[in-house]
Amino acid sequence: MTTQALDEIKIGGLGASRKRVEDDRFIRGKGNYTDDVVLPGMLHMEILRSPLPHARIKSIDASKAWEIPGVHLVLTGEMMATRNLAWMPTLSYDTQAVLATDKVRFQGQEVACVIADDPYIAKDACEAIEVDYEPLPPIVNPWQALASDAPVIRDDKVSQADNVVYNWEVGDKAGTDRAFAQADVISKLELHYPRSHPSPIECCGSVADFNRATSKLTVYMTTQAPHIIRAAVAMVAELPEQMIRIISPDIGGGFGNKVPIYPGYVCSILASILLERPVKWIEDKTGNLISTGFARDIYLKGEMALRRDGKILGVRMHTDADHGAFFSDAQPSKFKIGLMHSAFAAYDVPVAHLTARGLYTNKAPGGVAYRCSFRVTEAMFFQERMVQAAADDLGMDQAEFRRMNFVKDDDFPHRTPFGFLTDSGQYAKCLDVGLAAIGYENFRKEQAEARERGRLLGLGISTMTEPLGAGNSREYDILGIKMFDSADLKVHMTGKAILRTGARGQGQGHETTWAQIVAHELGIPADDVTVEEGDTDTAPFGMGTYASRSTPVAGAAVAMVSRKIRAKARKLAAHLLEVSEEDIEWELGRFYVRSSPGRGVTIQECAMAAYSNMPDGMEPGLENTAYYDPPNLTWPFAVYIVTVEVDPETGVWDVLRMVAVDDCGVRINPMIVEGQIMGGLTEAYAMSSMQFITFDADGNCVGSNYMDYLLPSAWETPGYELHSEVVTPCPHHPIGAKGIGECAAVGGPAAFVNAVIDALTGTGVRNIDMPVLPDRVWEAITYRRDVSGAPPVRQD
Amino acid sequence: MTIVYDDLGDEAASEVPVRKIRFTINGQKKVAEVEPRLLLADLIRRGIGLTGTHRGCDTTNCGACTVLVDGKAIKSCTMLAVQVDGREVTTVEGLASASELHPIQEGFKQEHGLQCGFCTPGMMMAAKALLDHNPDPTEEDVRWALSGNLCRCTGYQNIVKSVLWAAEKLRAEA
């Protein structure tokens, strides 16, 4: 390297905490969210939803709605059916009603749509639609669904004789049975990971604009995966794919909620085609909470075979997942219960067996990966709650038990008990950093002293491994489409560039960080690189942003396309310097002659030459596209430690401290990484403490608005102490990065719950289901019993 | 300012009651004819076209629609447009002058106080209401003042820092 190499931090390259470029529009109120899109002649759509969770539709009379001035169209299931659009495929090879025809299957299901001049008129008209329902018994949990006399929810499906969606298994059953036969101690745990709603502040919506003159359909919509939507619209609506343009403008948070295809999108598209005018649909909060992609709602039970000295010999797990009325999980098709089998990836567990069952119930379709890589949150939660229970049963220290069973640093690559191949990890080091930060020994002393005075202090540890970056095309596909991603880089003659990817950020800061990868690879200052995403007419095909796959897959594609550009620039440099390519060296921002380092050309000079002075026979221009199919997932890991104080009289618990030690490999932009971790920790805190969306015995959704579904504000949210001392670069990612967006939300909940359970040591309480509400803690303390969060069943 | 409705026929038009209101928004005087049921958030967004004020929950919980009315932070999703008759409204678009950002806006960028940006305008307006009457708030003051505004991305720690950054800059400028 010569002294002329650029300073990477100064040009906003890898490791720079570059201020975000997208902020400039957001802080001025100049973002462009779907509801901000206004088109000439635009009409407004509202949805009429079912008040009942399970009922046969006897008749729908929309005549009074049609009579209201300003109403242009009323859509019902019957009308949709004439165009073969009453049902649509889900992302998991099931079907979902667009507008109900035969039955409604959950409270809030879409029954009719009104399109009018104004949303107020459309809402009025929805109220004028008369629907005659014949109520059917609702099913609110898996046990009811399994009863022999349970009504079949999906009687629309010819081959469906019961309410079972799937039975799936993975692991070694015989080997696991042998491990349990040899165990000194068997530790058991049963729990419910409750339904949770990702609940971005911005609800879902779309503006569909079909132009009869050009036959082009443009849809602005809140989607995390615009290319998938384009393909789905082409197939479902039978429109030519090149005539469909999906634009995902600024998105007000996604967290998995904006991956599925919702009936509102489909209806707004059909309405625009029928009316030949733009149609806007913007969901209200209740609509969002009761009808769009829920997460979790899974019953986990398992046991761990242990040797007396603390060695884990094997694990057995069974899950019953409540999928709601339609199996619409957005997850790789080969894995019926997502990546649940990532459980126990951090530990050296010789053998394990998992059975999973999915069930239909009268609830909104669930199973979206809420800030989570396809059910890994449930897996990690069970893992860390089970590990705590096992250590307690053995009378071992929580930290010591973990340390003893961690996969050792030298044992990578490591095959997890359910078959993943992890490539790296420094779990013990992460734990040590966390324990030192929290002052583990001191806290244990303080805890013992406090207990003598009747104060309940608790400490919870959670270790997390997240399989991120779906994925390699051998194993990962959605509806058969392989989960690669892409980047397209155009370097203009003045050395400025525009980059587009197949991902679609929703706050992760892609516009800032992708430019940093280009700066790192090419030495073009990040400020000279504009990043665009979300327009299927301009962006290369990609699978979108969810499951923390952007940096592992699209981010890798950005590095790879930059390298393609650099390879061509090298040829241009050789031409400009009049030497052979082999005699050229690269340093950040510049090629030079090896034997004469003072002679060189900048990347910008090469760019100009690509348009003005290319060698004979070279294709002009400096533009390229890369599609990246990762060789494996990336494996970020973390240790989270929480301390709490529980008030024994009220059950209220306060977080004293929260320490997070995350290893996500190379950090492209440390400021943004820390922002992601803090956001994830807050959702972990929210899920464990207050986010409560459930159903009563009659199938009514409880938590259908923000007055009932509590999200933590600045007042409740604890402060966080973040640590970045442990860095294990991903061995196969081009810049050594791993995903990070979800890690804290995945690993965090168990730390909070473990801390509360730890505070109750001596009461015999093994489990309190999330959210760990004060009344549940009070019940556990007062009656010395576990507290379940499963929805109640009618006894009459 | 005029709001244009679609012509729904004479009979329908006569059924729509309309009230005339006068108000000031971001320093500009306006006259509007509105249905009495029109929400302030809709007047701001659809009537005036200032889309920086966002609608999140419609139940006064999330605060994405926070604006200032006569200097007080209010949630415009549950205030009627007719209620601002004779009053002064400030939205996020009124924070910056033509040439420079308000210190609160700078603070949010400097301290990474936003991610998806959807809650940000409401957060900044709530912060402005705080700093207008308490120029030297503690962290606890800021957390309390922002407790009516929800953010799903940041975990609030950097939002609090952003507001404290702005407070310090405003005090230095004063």
Which DSSP state fits B81? G
- What integer pLDDT is reported at residue B3 of this predicted model? 47
Structure tokens at A341: 């089998």
| Contact present, A13 and A516 (Cβ < 8 Å) | yes
Over the stretch A469-482, which tens digit does the pLDDT of each residue have? 988 888 999 888 99
| Contact present, A649 and A584 (Cβ < 8 Å) | no
| Contact present, A458 and A759 (Cβ < 8 Å) | yes
Over the stretch A721-779, which tens digit does the pLDDT of each residue have? 999 999 999 999 999 999 999 999 999 999 999 999 999 999 999 999 999 999 999 99
**What distances in angstroms separate CA A120 from CA A124, B18, B37, one per listed residue?**
6, 14, 9
Over the stretch A258-285, which tens digit does the pLDDT of each residue have? 999 999 999 999 999 999 999 999 999 9
- With contacts defined as CB-CB under 8 Å, which chain B residues touch A31? 52, 117-118
- What integer pLDDT is reported at residue B10 of this predicted model? 56
A426 C-beta neighbours (distance < 10 Å), count? 18
Phi, psi of A152 (to 5 degrees): -80, 115
Q: Is A267 a catalytic residue?
A: no
CB contact under 8 A, B62 and A706: yes
Nearest to B156 among A31, A118, A682 (CB): A682
Cβ within 8 Å of residue A283, ≥6 positions away: A47, A203, A204, A205, A264, A292
Q: Find the mean pLDDT for residues A282-294.
A: 96
Give me the catalytic one of A195, A371, A549, A657: A371
CA distance A575 to A601: 10
End-to-end CA distance of chain A: 80
| Contact present, B135 and B119 (Cβ < 8 Å) | no
Over the stretch B30-63, which tens digit does the pLDDT of each residue have? 999 999 999 999 999 999 999 999 999 999 999 9
Which chain A residue has the Cα nearest residue B45? A36
Q: Give how far B11 is from chain A: nearest CA, Å.
A: 9
Average of per-residue pLDDT values in chain A: 96
Over the stretch B126-174, which tens digit does the pLDDT of each residue have? 999 999 999 999 999 999 999 999 999 999 999 999 999 999 999 999 8
Q: What is the pTM of this model?
A: 0.97
Structure tokens at B14: 């006569």
B-facing residues of A in 671-690 (CB < 8 A) are: 671-672, 674-675, 678-683
As a 3-state breakdown, chain A gives helix, strand, coil percent values, each rounded to 5, of: 30, 25, 45
Q: Is the pLDDT of residue A101 over 50?
A: yes
Beta strands in A1-160 (DSSP E): 43-49, 55-61, 71-76, 87-89, 95-97, 103-104, 110-116, 130-135
Q: Would you mind telling me the total number of residues written for chain B in this entry?
A: 174
Poorest-pLDDT segment among A235-249, A415-429, A567-581, B9-23: B9-23
Q: How far is CA A333 from the centre of its chain?
A: 16
Bridge-based pairing state of the strands B19-25 and B88-90: parallel
Which domains does chain A carry? 23-31+485-628 (3.30.365.10), 34-136+203-251+258-291 (3.90.1170.50), 298-468+632-783 (3.30.365.10)
From B114, B92, B67, B162, select the one nearest A201 (Cα to Cα).
B114
- What integer pLDDT is reported at residue A235 of this predicted model? 87
Q: Is A785 a catalytic residue?
A: no
**What distances in angstroms separate CA B164 from CA A112, A490, B115, B125, one per listed residue?**
48, 41, 18, 14
CB contact under 8 A, B109 and A23: yes
Q: For the domain B10-94, what is the CATH code? A: 3.10.20.30
- What integer pLDDT is reported at residue A123 of this predicted model? 97
**What distances in angstroms separate CA B31 from CA A266, B38, B47, B52, B83, one per listed residue?**
39, 15, 11, 21, 13
User: Could you tell me the pLDDT band of residue A411, with boundaries at 50, 70 and 90?
Assistant: very high
B31 C-beta neighbours (distance < 10 Å), count? 10
From A27, A10, A18, A6, select the one nearest A514 (Cα to Cα).
A18
CB contact under 8 A, B52 and A671: no
Nearest-5° Cα angle at A634, A629 to A635: 165
Poorest-pLDDT segment among A199-203, A269-273, A330-334, A534-538: A330-334
| Contact present, A235 and A48 (Cβ < 8 Å) | no
Over the stretch A65-96, which tens digit does the pLDDT of each residue have? 999 999 999 999 999 999 999 999 998 899 99
Q: Where are the domains of chain B?
A: 10-94, 103-173
Determine which helix (DSSP H) or strand (DSSP E) holds A355, and give its type and residue range: strand A352-359
Angle between helices A510-522 and A556-577 (to 10 degrees): 30
- What integer pLDDT is reported at residue B36 of this predicted model? 94
Nearest to A679 among B57, B105, B154 (CB): B154
Over the stretch A643-686, which tens digit does the pLDDT of each residue have? 999 999 999 999 999 999 999 999 999 999 999 999 999 999 99
Structure tokens at B52: 């920086």
- What integer pLDDT is reported at residue A716 of this predicted model? 96
- With contacts defined as CB-CB under 8 Å, which chain A residues touch B158? 675, 678
**What distances in angstroms separate CA A751 from CA A194, A392, A650, A658, B32, one per listed residue?**
16, 15, 21, 9, 54
Q: For the domain B103-173, what is the CATH code? A: 1.10.150.120
CA distance A637 to A726: 10
Nearest-5° Cα angle at A638, A637 to A642: 160
Which DSSP state fits B74? E
Over the stretch A180-207, which tens digit does the pLDDT of each residue have? 999 999 999 999 999 999 999 999 999 9
CA distance A48 to A687: 30
Percentage of chain A lying above the pLDDT 90 cut:
93
- What integer pLDDT is reported at residue A345 of this predicted model? 96
Q: Give how far A283 is from chain B: nearest CA, Å.
A: 10
A729 C-beta neighbours (distance < 10 Å), count? 16
Over the stretch A16-31, which tens digit does the pLDDT of each residue have? 999 999 999 999 999 9
Between A334 and A402, residue with greater pLDDT: A402
A534 inside 8 A of chain B by CB: no
Interface test with A, best of B157, B160, B161 (most A CBs within 10 A): B157
**What distances in angstroms separate CA A45 from CA A67, A178, A277, A288, A780, one per listed residue?**
16, 60, 12, 15, 47
- What integer pLDDT is reported at residue A150 of this predicted model? 95
A736 inside 8 A of chain B by CB: no
Angle between helices A376-394 and A743-759 (to 10 degrees): 30
Structure tokens at B136: 């030297």
| Contact present, A222 and A545 (Cβ < 8 Å) | no
- With contacts defined as CB-CB under 8 Å, which chain A residues touch B121? 26, 29
- What integer pLDDT is reported at residue B12 of this predicted model? 55
CB contact under 8 A, B153 and A253: yes
Asked if the ipTM is above 0.85, the reply is: yes
Q: Is the pLDDT of residue B2 over 50?
A: no
Long-range contacts of A121-124 (CB under 8 A, 24+ apart): A121/A44, A121/A68, A121/A69, A121/A70, A121/A71, A122/A44, A122/A45, A122/A46, A122/A71, A123/A46, A124/A68
A550 inside 8 A of chain B by CB: no
Give exposure, A742-776, as e/b (b: 16+ Cβ within 10 Å): bbbbbbbbbbbbbbbbbbbeebebbbbbbbbbbeb
CB contact under 8 A, A201 and B121: no
**What distances in angstroms separate CA A471 from CA A261, A414, A467, A510, one per listed residue?**
21, 18, 9, 19
Put the strands of the sheet holding A164-171 in their side by side order.
A164-171, A352-359, A312-322, A295-306, A185-196
Q: Is the pLDDT of residue A39 over 50?
A: yes
CA distance A779 to A787: 7
Cβ within 8 Å of residue A625, ≥6 positions away: A486, A487, A488, A489, A540, A561
- What integer pLDDT is reported at residue B1 of this predicted model? 34
Q: Is A372 a catalytic residue?
A: yes
- What integer pLDDT is reported at residue A395 of this predicted model? 97
Q: Is the pLDDT of residue A794 over 80?
A: no
Q: Is the pLDDT of residue A452 over 60?
A: yes
If DSSP codes are grouped into helix, strand and coil, which group holds residue A224? coil
